[in-house]
Amino acid sequence: MLKIDEKGAVAPQIYGALRQAIITMALKPGQALSEKEIALSFGSSRQPAREAFIKLAEAGLVRILPQRGTFVVKVSPRQVADARFVREAVEVAVARHCCLSASAAALDALEQVVAGQEEAAAANDHAGFLALDEKFHKGLAEAIGCSEAWRVIEMGKAQMDRVRYLSLPEASPMSLLIDQHRDILRAIRAGDADGAAAAVRIHLREILLALPRLAKAFPELFEDEELPGHAADLQPALRVGAVEGR
């Protein structure tokens, strides 16, 4: 039986555990999820499990088919690209505002997060690295006092997270991602809003480089679909015009 914190709401805990299992591919595309079995494994009634399934469906991670069951879906390149598009718009704005209002203490804390990523990379700790990656990006939003920006990003990034997990370390080397985080911080400390925006764009477009390679390497995990125009149009320009000073 999986442990539930009795002081907290049960459905969000079940959702969080299942979301993590889907992102890390512990639960694979096509795998059926039983409301009854999930409830038993968490020692809960079926209602919290049902609520968790509905939220997973809203996040695009499962498909609920009446009279047939609930199934983990394949990774959708289109959904990944759409989520990335929205995330870039939000994070570019966040980075620009960081140049105006982020405190030295907040930026120092983000430097420590990046240092932690270096340690995770050295230990080949993919899960720890990605947890710190989230902390870095969430920290940028918190540095300008806009936690809502991170909430908007978090709502739509589940499909991106699946690709991010698959992409380490082969498709997107951890050392490269660390350098990109440092580029963002360097531009913010210099008050260079255009440079910070460019660094964020380069960093968040990394996933578009990884997508085709991963879909080819793991066809059983991905939907066979074309990237939308807003992503396909970026392909020739990716990694061109790198941030100065790297």
61 three-class SS? coil
Query: Is residue 52 within 8 Å of 45, Cβ to Cβ?
Result: no
Of all helices (H) and strands (E), which one includes residue 65?
A: strand 62-65
The three-state secondary structure class of 142 is helix
- pLDDT tens figures, 157-198: 888 999 988 887 666 789 999 999 999 999 999 999 999 999
pTM for this predicted structure: 0.84
Assess contact for 163 and 211: CB atoms under 8 A: yes
For range 62-72, the mean pLDDT: 94
**pLDDT given for residue 169 in this prediction:** 65
pLDDT of amino acid 46 = 93
Question: What DSSP line would sit under 7-54, residue for residue?
Answer: TS-HHHHHHHHHHHHHHTTSS-TT-EE-HHHHHHHHT--HHHHHHHHH
User: How many degrees, rounded to 5, is the angle at CA 96 between CA 188 and CA 203?
Assistant: 70
The confidence score (pLDDT) of residue 229 equals: 74
Q: What is the Cα–Cα distance from 212 to 38, expressed in whole angstroms?
A: 34
Domains of the chain: residue spans and CATH: 10-72 (1.10.10.10), 77-237 (1.20.120.530)
Q: How far from the centroid of its chain's Cα atoms is residue 246's Cα? A: 24
- Which residues are CB-contacts of 119 (< 8 A; sequence separation ≥ 6)? none
Sign of CA dihedral 147, 152, 153, 159: positive
Q: Where do runs of H (alpha helix) occur along 59-167?
A: 77-101, 104-122, 126-143, 147-156, 158-167
Tens of pLDDT, residue by residue over 221-233, are: 999 988 777 776 6
> At 33, phi and psi to the nearest 5?
-115, 125
SS3 109: helix
Q: Can you give the pLDDT at residue 165?
A: 87
Whether 95 and 195 have beta carbons less than 8 Å apart is answered as: no
**Phi and psi at residue 121, to the nearest 5°:** -65, -40
Give the Cα separation of 23 and 34 in Å (integer).
18
Asked whether the beta carbons of 184 and 200 are under 8 A apart, the reply is: yes
| C-alpha dihedral sign at 191, 193, 197, 199 | negative
- 90-132 residue pLDDT tens: 999 999 999 999 999 999 999 999 999 999 999 999 889 999 9
Q: What is the pLDDT of residue 168?
A: 75
Distance, first Cα to last Cα, the chain: 49
